[in-house]
Amino acid sequence: MKKASFIISIILALTLKYADAQKNLSRNVIIFANGDTLNSPQILSNKMLTNQDEIVYIDRNSTKQKLTACQIREYYLDNEYFHSVMIKSENICRLITYEVGGYISFGLSYASNGDMNFYVKKNDEVDALEKYKYNLKSFFSSYLEDFDQFYSNYRVKISYDFKTLAEMISAYNAYKYPEKYVFETVKNKEKGRIVVIASVGMANTKLSGYLQDNLNGVSYSLGMDFESRYSRYFAIHLPVTYNWTSGKATNMSLHLSSINFEPYLTFRPIPNKSISFEFGAGFGMMYSMNSYLDCSQLIQSDQNKVLLNKLSVGPNFSFIANLDKKFKAQLMFVQYKAHLANIKMSSPEDTSAKASINNFRLMISYSF
């Protein structure tokens, strides 16, 4: 009995010691260019602090330390493993993580703004793809002697985005050496981004019911959008804007200020030019803050202002031109069905009215 208790005690002690060691184990490691290793550092992983050019970490004195890409051989951060690579054609170091390995390896780096840049490696030589982003087929035709044959047989997609390039290179490796490599699909790694948006547009408000008229005017908006790309084809947008809209007719005018939440989904065909296009559709909500119909010029009206209801809903449609990584131009159509409060008249008739607000906006956006 004593022997059994002794064995159990040893097992328990070893188990607790192992568990405690596991608790203190960090996967973060920095290996310096000279070969020295720093285990379990606190690496700051904000995109502005950990990117293709440098990393920032906290040393034992709780001080921030910066290391450039040329000062590092490699580092581990959570589940990603980055190598310092010299891009000879540009004479610059980059911190790259490889997502596809094989005869041709495919890697990526993160710029300080969160954008991804892509690379290929063959025979330990690394080439950056960004300068070929609109001419990738020609690049691979010269880079790989049998690429044209591979392309004619499989007609793979070629586009400067993570999923397309990773799967194309994986397919090529499997084609080149089918006994060594198997084609693998990858998950999209595009990240969400914050976008500043502003627009100017033309608004038409059609009144129906007791009042029937068309009011035409201008609209303005300013706000923020959160864009999240779920695949090479689709993205979801969650814009929130402050809007001013006006409209005039012979005897009436509309004054509309509102907070709009207008989410929409976009479809982007695979881009192969410097300007790519997207098509979007969604459904929005308009919260009126100080919105009213000025009917003081109507002889039969006993009031000067008629308020719009607080909440209105309606569809939206977009056509988007991506001018570069940062700027977009967008033509957006939104429509809201609003109700007006009953108009005080001397007549006992039903004086309710509805407003159909149609707005064409030309929108410019800038993403961070």
The Cα–Cα gap between 213 and 252 comes to 9
The pLDDT of 141-150, averaged and rounded, is 94
pLDDT at residue 32, rounded to an integer: 92
Query: How confident is residue 17, by pLDDT bands cut at 50, 70 and 90?
Result: very low
Calculate the average pLDDT of the chain: 84
Please check whether residue 170 is in contact with residue 183, taking contact to mean a CB–CB distance below 8 angstroms. Answer: yes
In the predicted structure, residue 14 carries a pLDDT above the cut 70 = no
pLDDT at residue 12, rounded to an integer: 40
Please check whether residue 263 is in contact with residue 236, taking contact to mean a CB–CB distance below 8 angstroms. Answer: yes
Per-residue model confidence as pLDDT tens digits over 215-266: 999 999 999 999 887 766 788 999 999 999 988 988 888 899 999 999 999 9
pLDDT at residue 203, rounded to an integer: 93
What are the sequence ranges of the domains in the chain?
A: 23-176, 193-367
- Vertex 191: Cα angle to 185 and 197 (nearest 5): 140
Per-residue model confidence as pLDDT tens digits over 155-166: 888 888 888 899
In the predicted structure, residue 13 carries a pLDDT above the cut 80 = no
**What pTM value is reported for the model?**
0.67
The pLDDT of 46-60, averaged and rounded, is 86
In the predicted structure, residue 5 carries a pLDDT above the cut 80 = no
The pLDDT of 282-307, averaged and rounded, is 82
Tokens of 348: 């006992």
CB-facing half-sphere around the CA of 203: CA atoms within 13 A: 27
pLDDT at residue 19, rounded to an integer: 39
Query: How confident is residue 326, by pLDDT bands cut at 50, 70 and 90?
Result: confident
In the predicted structure, residue 131 carries a pLDDT above the cut 60 = yes
The pLDDT of 80-85, averaged and rounded, is 91
Amino acid at 73: R
Top mean pLDDT of 74-78, 129-133, 140-144, 322-326 is at: 140-144
Biggest distance spanned by C-alpha atoms of the chain: 106
Quickly tell me which residue has 């009917």 as its tokens: 295
CB-facing half-sphere around the CA of 268: CA atoms within 13 A: 20
Using DSSP, state whether 339 is helix, strand or coil.
strand
Query: Taking the domain 193-367, which CATH number applies?
Result: 2.40.160.20
Higher pLDDT, 80 or 346: 80
